[in-house]
Structure 1
Amino acid sequence: MNKHSVYETNSFYWDIKGNEFLRAIVLPHYGAFVTEEKHQLFGDVSGLKMLEVGCGNGQSLQYHGDRKAGELWGMDISEKQIEKAAQHLTMCGLSATLICSPMEEECGIPKNYFEAVYSIYAIGWTTDLEGTFRQIASYLKNDGIFIFSWSHPIHRNVVEENNKFVFKKPYSDESWYAVSPDFCQGELVLADRQISTYVNALAKAGFVIEQMIEESDEDIMQLHDHSDNLLKRAKMLPVTFVIKARKL
């Protein structure tokens, strides 16, 4: 699939529907049943220069701003989301440099500048994973950290049929496909990548993986309605994964 058509389809959806309809995930949540509060991947961020890839409406930037990060930067493919982020951060008394751009492209972000780059449930939208990781590595200082979360590929490849979980397609199938969320109108374009694809792309970009999380937090699961379909899945298979890597 042509990457520019992917840009147009997805950025249009984000512009029109926005985070409210996509049930956006923001820190301290990395995704379903995984939190920064438990895993403490960032540690003390006070004084750090931090960049968020796929910043959405700015709530994860606020999370770090409230924890005394030194500089906040964010990028997003959607102009509307950048506008929302600017408004939200201003209301919170925080300032940030916000850039509208696909994550795969050069967009004026300074090189060798940040101590931390992160992406909360956004990195999977890239049309060029290796290129995106190279860009992120170029933004980081040596020894800088990169943390990202995304929907676990096992979760994306499994459906429930007759009270059993079955694969709807091969785990190795990374082709792009259209998806229409059942809770609103519109269409998005998505690809499900294997965990090894992320790991190998990180290695090629000069990162070493320090930690990977794919288990769900039991304490959060216990707070959910036991009839929740996502909770049922989380008891059987990973639904979110998080990777913390460091630039060599």
Structure 2
Amino acid sequence: MRQNVYDQQDVFENFQNNRLSGRSENDLIEQPAIRSCLPPLTGKSVLDLGCGGGQLVKYCIEQGASEATGVDLSKNMLEYARAHHSHERITYLQGSLEDIELPHNQFDLIVSSLAMHYIGEYERVVNKVGSALRDNGYFIYSVLHPHITARKLLEGWVRDEAGEKRFWPLDDYLDDGPRDLQVTPDKKAVIYHRSMSSAVNGLIQAGLTLDQIIEPTCSPEGLILQPHQVVEIRRPTFIIFKSQKLVR
């Protein structure tokens, strides 16, 4: 059975309260970065894998995409997306990224925001993406940075006696596989750690060419709202991979 933590109501509400605050790491770090590396979208066909509440799907339409499809396993997420980010050129579909069938040679852009680290079958999904992209199309996705997910006990910063952050420990880096991520005080979700080489080689093996890697930090405007995010310079939370299906 595929993991569907966001249809647990308390997990969903906790996520939404953070996501809709306008002060989350998504808003201040990850979304500005992933949107900045999107190609021109006028007249393009877009697929969002793990679309959540539909914010990025709607943004792509606003940037001129001719059509956009959002896929998510969570009923709660899709209900929110249809209620708040609907459009005549948007289609929302329920399904897991591992199992959903993608049409061949259909999309100019496939994007995924903080969903691929929930996927155990990375190579399978990336191969489907490569097949579904049109020539010269892009696959752009963000995940938690592998130095965040590497340790099998995700315990965070090592602090000194005064509670100040001293350093971020790294261990188990080359041991790809599942990790437990705390999503509420009493609930965990399973995410999948992948080293940088595993992530990049999976793209290459799917016939994609790496175009760019981004390790975003908080903007100056974001630091006004959340000054503690200055630590992103010491260790970024997210990483974005931008790849392209080039015509040989």
Q: Shorter-chain-normalised TM-score: which range?
A: 0.7 to 0.9
Are 1:219 and 2:213 counterparts?
A: no
How far is the alpha carbon of 1:148 from its aligned partner? Answer: 0.6
| Equivalent residues in 2 for 1:97-108, closer than 5 Å | 97-107=91-101
CA distance in 2 between partners of 1:42 and 1:232 (Å): 25
Are 1:88 and 2:112 counterparts?
A: no
- TM-score, length basis structure 1: 0.82
Code of the aligned partner of 1:176: P
Q: Report the counterpart of residue 149 of structure 1 in structure 2.
A: 142
RMSD value, Cα: 2.6
| Equivalent residues in 2 for 1:49-198, closer than 5 Å | 49-90=45-86, 93-107=87-101, 109-157=102-150, 159-162=157-160, 163-167=165-169, 169-182=171-184, 184-198=185-199
CA distance in 2 between partners of 1:246 and 1:85 (Å): 28
Note if contact 2:157-2:169 (Cα within 8 Å) is conserved in structure 1. yes
CA distance in 1 between partners of 2:234 and 2:73 (Å): 34
How far is the alpha carbon of 1:156 from its aligned partner? Answer: 3.3
Structure 1 residues 154 and 72: CA distance shift in structure 2, 3 A: same
CA distance in 2 between partners of 1:206 and 1:144 (Å): 12
Q: Report the counterpart of residue 21 of structure 1 in structure 2.
A: 14
CA distance in 2 between partners of 1:42 and 1:217 (Å): 18
CA distance in 2 between partners of 1:187 and 1:43 (Å): 35
Structure 1: segments with no counterpart, 5+ residues: none
How far is the alpha carbon of 1:232 from its aligned partner? Answer: 4.7
Code of the aligned partner of 1:16: Q
Structure 1 residues 232 and 47: CA distance shift in structure 2, 3 A: same
Note if contact 1:159-1:168 (Cα within 8 Å) is conserved in structure 2. no
Note if contact 1:147-1:242 (Cα within 8 Å) is conserved in structure 2. yes
Q: What's the secondary structure of 1:33's corresponding residue?
A: helix
How many residues are treated as equivalent by the alignment? 231
Structure 2: segments with no counterpart, 5+ residues: 151-155
Give 2:233's match in structure 1, choosing from 231, 235, 240: 235
CA offset digits 1:191-238 (Å, max 9, x no partner) = 221111110000000000111111424524532443x2xx25313122
% identity of equivalent residues: 23
How far is the alpha carbon of 1:55 from its aligned partner? Answer: 0.5
How far is the alpha carbon of 1:134 from its aligned partner? Answer: 0.4
Note if contact 2:214-2:239 (Cα within 8 Å) is conserved in structure 1. yes
Note if contact 1:31-1:149 (Cα within 8 Å) is conserved in structure 2. no
CA distance in 2 between partners of 1:225 and 1:132 (Å): 35
CA distance in 2 between partners of 1:16 and 1:122 (Å): 17
Q: What's the secondary structure of 1:179's corresponding residue?
A: strand
CA distance in 2 between partners of 1:180 and 1:36 (Å): 25
Superposition misfits of 4+ residues, deviation over 6 angstroms? none
Note if contact 1:19-1:56 (Cα within 8 Å) is conserved in structure 2. no
